[in-house]
Structure 1
Amino acid sequence: MIDESALLESKTLRSSVLDRTDVLDKVKALSLLPDGMHVTTAMVAAYFEVTVEVVRQLTKRHREELEVNGMAVLRGSDLRQFESDNMSLSLASYPQARRSLTIYSRRAVLNVTMLLRDSHVARQVRTYLLDMEYSGRTQPVDNLPGPDTVLLDDRIDQRITHILGKTVVPMFNALIAASGEHRRELIELREDIENVERTLCRHHRRISTLEEEIPADRVRDSIAAMTWQAFERHVADLLRRDGCSDVVVRQTRIDRGIDITARTADGRTVAVRCKNRAGHRHVPSSDMQRFAGAARAVERVDVALFVTTSYFSHEAQAVADLGGVLTVDREELGAWSAGARLRALR
């Protein structure tokens, strides 16, 4: 079994377990801001029972790694908007004239866990995390309960789904592209693999519903309360969760049509447009035309994705279909946020 100190030294090892943010609450409750997604530097320090200065120094040393995993420094209008949306005791205790605020996603907090040496809480989380990883890798398949029982460990489902989506399916894609006489058989085999992946995803959602891990109402309410900046960060977190790398959130008020860029697990380039609108306001065709032009004509990405908290007008959907833009409306966004993977990212 890997020693917990290995996490302190290996960035690759840290990256391999960053999706296991649930381990934070198994060791100690992590209090979140009202948006249900972020914490401040003071809240991180309180969780790990260290001083704020310790967290600040760690952040300076590992800023690039932490920013990739959800840490952000808010200033100016972004800071004022975030404070307005998250008025609480946790923020009200800060000086009103502060110029910036550092916030962390749960993924970033887990990242801090694997960098913070002198915290007994961080050591407990690292040990617990590696114990779970070790158990997941060494548990014999014969010891698993039947597939029809809700006692099936959904961590194994997610691990298998991850392997299928990131290795097996891309391998079949490459074989199909290079094959001749066996092309039909390979396509049928790929379809069988994708059916298994979809079945595992449905099973995971069923387990989540039965255990009330992420109630649909809570997901919708959380998204509805987000600012446009928070919504873009939320979509970026979903991209990372689904295996994307090099995720960059531009977060600028200058409208160039593309809000997020990323790369899928199999190397395809991704451009995302995020539109945070009230549920009754449809995305117009003009917005879709601007994004399609930026994604296809200017940056020439492989996957163009338009995500909205509302719905698309008929004209906007027609433009998307014509320009090869994949659309995610309010209903699909809710399912994606609750744990379903986007087929376009597989």
Structure 2
Amino acid sequence: MFDDSVLLESETLRTSMTGRTEVLDRVKTLTLLPDDLHMTTRMVAAYFGVDIKAVRSLVVDHRQELEANGYRVLSGAELSSFKELSSLDKHTGRHLALFTRRTVLNVAMLLRDSVVARQVRTYLLDAESGQRSEPSAPPVENSVFHNLEQWLDARVLHHVEQRLAEWGPPETRDEARLRVLAEEAVRSAVGRAVVPLLNELIRSDSELRRRLSGHQEEIARLNKVLWERDAESAGSLAALDELGPREFAQHIAWLCRRDGCTGVTVPPATSGREGRADVLGHTADGRRLVVQCERRAPNTSVTSADVQAFVGAARREHRADAALLVSTAPFTRDALLRAARHDVTAVHRGLLESWNNGARLRVLESVA
């Protein structure tokens, strides 16, 4: 699983996901024009909760990529016709920019300062990770190969009938000659159809492997860039202290992904404090991971009661195999003892600093 920022950096990855437009409605209801196909620039800005200038600036920087996914600007007679068909205000101006669903998804993968856009990217990457981890579907009958089988049968039969006619009446045919005839018929059919098909499959497989290798190299490079950038921007506890609760949870989720956890998500915030889980996922060896994030002032403490409340939520409601209580504040002695008794990893301020600077948490490592 990659940090959602990887989509901001890689046009190749964005292109591979532009068809996943169903993600948009999962994050927030998409309001379209009466033609049920397009959105205006103002509508796109409203969907992402940003100023319209941010969307226009994005179009300037990435116009070619957006146009490849359906972005266009209407003017003149084309605009007049579209206004009539879509019942738009005739005084909307001399130009009208239109975004399709694919274009809006493209914007979500490029827009940095939008909570909605970040959620869309997270959904995309979580879905992609889930698809990679799911077992392959059982093979089904392929019409291409079924047709090939029929062609081979007909070809062999035609060859046999033609040669039999050349060999004369049945009493002149011996078993040895019939065996040679059958071998010739099969060899001819295979040579004319199966061998070229296999050669094409081998060529296609080699091309796919080459492209996959290129994607993997690009992903590795981007992950390195993102790690160095994020490590620089959040390399101290002072930087973490400046984060809001949601951003703090997202950073902890990023640390979990960095250490090999999969399917890591940050659920939508809830009004209640008890029973909440700020980060969910699985460790590298498949154990259910539940994390609660407590962003507190360094001069406060996490108490035994805080730990007890988290224990109940993690075990009963979320069925955690690995439970982490992460805080920017220290834990009291009783809180540490209670966490140890209930197999909860207490990530206090000191341990958080080490983890943030590159150390790995033992609880996230594979269990032998």
TM-score range, shorter chain: 0.3 to 0.5
TM-score, with length taken from structure 1: 0.46
